[in-house]
Structure 1
């Protein structure tokens, strides 16, 4: 019988296991010992990840509605080479072949995202699309037949265009109820087989690219970050992330209240986690690196673990940073069962409080930190390096 006590015990065990296993990996890294798959514990997940818009294609098939990327990618000048993902990898039609390839590679897990508009073509303002439900049921069943565990992301940078047109999507608190409604449909239809849920992928990175730099839809920004037709790069990313955190919390609350005990799964949110190192040995640059780290993954994780944004963000952003009401803190704090994050590379951090930087870095929204991948004309190193992931995990778990 799966009950709340058992769930708490399993969550405690998972946390203990992850920390213990991290220390095991740490010992291997420090000893320069080669790591083979046989050294990993039984049940360890090896896999890959995609997002629906990047791989599915079938943009106009089986009742799917238009999302933000469907519109954005068809506007001339938005994509460098003018391409779009109308077909992409054609995963919608070839997923069984794709899963056979995954199985042949020895993968035992696969993280994918559900297309919001394949389930709800117009968000809450239209009907549920039965063809979308059918597709993801077939996809999940096919994965499980191959012995591949599904890790399912509910929202990965795509959103019904209807919600953008009606109330500016993530800029409005109205999005919270829309997301909760959509997540509930996912839990109800797929949760009997999905044990690992991710509500939202990289809210901090999405807000940066879409609402600070304006290079993702809905292309909102302001100088010096860009010259979009509308937007405010200093405030809108903060509003967007705030609504995303509350949307996650409401979805997690629904999951725990109605589904988790019966279905026995786990839920989280996945931020983008940068690793920042000081560009020099100067104390100001060391402080800048720590400050920039607080503006990365902790921007998302601190409210979920502690009930508020990092103190560094409060210090430098002041009233620009939204606040959580006591009622919101009650549902936000503790609303994750496990921690996940995406990491790409390590970057240099330069202080812009005591030193001069360009105007784009000398702003509160950036923590008054200039971030770059090179120093004195030399790149920091390989774009992708295992050590970068190790450093990022070490910083998040151990603080050093």
Structure 2
């Protein structure tokens, strides 16, 4: 499935779920090829804070006001880049129509301050925060109308910020948007058909995730086409997408489990990466989902193929996969998660959010996680010739997490939510500072 990717692939790893991969070799920034980018990452909703509107993240980390302080933290660590997202509703409060100049001004200030400190901005155009008005008006990502509105919003970003932003990411984790929002209903807009009326107020877990994924892919391709034709020749930037996927290993060496492992990958990474490379969904999805999976026209397929300059991979941890012949859960739930016919089991979860400040600052597991991943990533580059160009740490700060609220702490910096959002460096900050200075 991964063969044939000729664009740049950025490794964007998410901290918190830990597995032991290998050894403890001595590596540093100097071990990596010249120009390799090290950065941190965030999202608008989880970091900025909002106008008080009874939402759970109405303050978050208040980076809307504290961005200068946070940029100093990145610079002190020696980071090259910062990946952040623009909040659609800050640019278009109603999703369309009149532009909010205060939102434009904020992101101009953020971008200019990053550049003044020698930090390259990597901008995600959409990181899960759909303007509520578009959801109310036509059910958001379930309606093809969203393609046009997203394209207008994205083009506004290119016009306003593209003279300085040279790296654009259209979407962050479309898989999670589709599954978490429209299959299991755990994230916005909370649609599902499992115990309809109890867990969710509306939805169809067997069809809606595929409709949403389809509209996201077409939105991505439309925006990339616009950028490449109208803005890239003058602005000379790059544009791509960030996809999330677990890695899967077969639970046994049986042919059935090996095939189930490939299907699990198809229904995670393949769902979104194969249309970008081949112009259509994986064959296993076409076979198993059948008429519930939308089709691309020839024009749409052509638009999709090659619609990226780079691919970002958000990776959390690894699962075992086994074949599920009976699939009772799939029959009962009738949802997209069961369509692959693969049962999965997480290898390990090392996140421990319930800690005192003193204990939280001693994050040796996080250090080991990065050391092991970077060691193996370096081997992939040098030994296997993988064209990986960067490594972004999620996350710079502890932040409001979509399902866990403030209880999960993924950050390099501890945020004291009870004391004016003060930031405290964890041991991983010191590790990265030494790593990047070497």
Output the TM-score relative to the length of structure 1.
0.80
**Aligned residues of 2:183 and 2:335 also touching (Cα < 8 A):** no
Q: Which moved more, 1:42-51 or 1:167-176?
A: 42-51
1:184 to 2:164 alignment: no
CA distance in 1, matches of 2:373, 2:155: 36
1:244 to 2:216 alignment: yes
1:372 counterpart residue number? 345
Distance 1:18 1:370, change over 3 A: closer
Matched residues, number: 348
- The Cα shift of 1:287 comes to 1.3
1:268-279 alignment runs, 5 A limit: 268-279=240-251
1:231-270 alignment runs, 5 A limit: 231-270=203-242
1:42 counterpart residue number? 34
1:331 counterpart residue number? 303
2:131 counterpart residue number? 160
Output the TM-score relative to the length of structure 2.
0.73
**Aligned residues of 2:327 and 2:341 also touching (Cα < 8 A):** no
**Aligned residues of 1:362 and 1:369 also touching (Cα < 8 A):** no
2:354 counterpart residue number? none
- The Cα shift of 1:299 comes to 0.8
CA distance in 2, matches of 1:348, 1:133: 45
- The Cα shift of 1:244 comes to 0.3
1:65 counterpart residue number? none
Question: Is the partner of 1:88 in helix, strand or coil?
Answer: coil
1:136-151 alignment runs, 5 A limit: 136-151=107-122
Task: Write 1 or 2 for the structure with the bigger share of strand.
Answer: 2
Question: Is the partner of 1:339 in helix, strand or coil?
Answer: strand
Question: Is the partner of 1:267 in helix, strand or coil?
Answer: strand
1:56 counterpart residue number? 48
CA distance in 2, matches of 1:56, 1:338: 27
Question: Is the partner of 2:311 in helix, strand or coil?
Answer: coil
1:101 to 2:101 alignment: no
Task: Write 1 or 2 for the structure with the bigger share of helix.
Answer: 1
Match among 286, 291, 306 for residue 278 of structure 2: 306
CA distance in 1, matches of 2:322, 2:373: 18
Q: Deviations over 1:272-315 (max 9, x none)?
A: 12101122333222211111001111211111111001111111
CA distance in 2, matches of 1:344, 1:224: 29
Gaps of 5+ in 2: 12-20, 352-365, 387-438
CA distance in 2, matches of 1:104, 1:279: 44
Distance 1:215 1:127, change over 3 A: same
CA distance in 2, matches of 1:102, 1:32: 25
Match among 81, 84, 98 for residue 127 of structure 1: 98
How well do the aligned residues superpose, as a CA RMSD in angstroms?
2.8
- The Cα shift of 1:365 comes to 4.6
Distance 1:281 1:254, change over 3 A: same
CA distance in 1, matches of 2:241, 2:90: 21
**Aligned residues of 1:205 and 1:271 also touching (Cα < 8 A):** no
Gaps of 5+ in 1: 1-10, 20-28, 61-69, 75-83, 374-378
Question: Is the partner of 1:268 in helix, strand or coil?
Answer: strand
Q: Deviations over 1:139-188 (max 9, x none)?
A: 00000011111110000000110000000000000000000000000000
1:211 to 2:182 alignment: yes
2:434 counterpart residue number? none
Q: Deviations over 1:89-147 (max 9, x none)?
A: 110001001000110011110000000000000011x3000111111011000000111
Distance 1:328 1:170, change over 3 A: same
CA distance in 1, matches of 2:202, 2:73: 44
**Aligned residues of 2:250 and 2:260 also touching (Cα < 8 A):** yes
Question: Is the partner of 2:322 in helix, strand or coil?
Answer: strand
2:357 counterpart residue number? none
- The Cα shift of 1:397 comes to 9.6
CA distance in 2, matches of 1:32, 1:58: 42
**Aligned residues of 1:361 and 1:368 also touching (Cα < 8 A):** no
Q: Deviations over 1:41-78 (max 9, x none)?
A: 23221111100000001425xxxxxxxxx67xx4xxxx
Q: Tell me which of the two structures has the higher relative contact order, counting C-alpha pairs closer than 8 angstroms and 6 or more residues apart.
A: 2
2:389 counterpart residue number? none
1:174 counterpart residue number? 145
Q: Deviations over 1:314-343 (max 9, x none)?
A: 111111111101111121111111111101
CA distance in 1, matches of 2:139, 2:156: 23
CA distance in 2, matches of 1:263, 1:286: 45
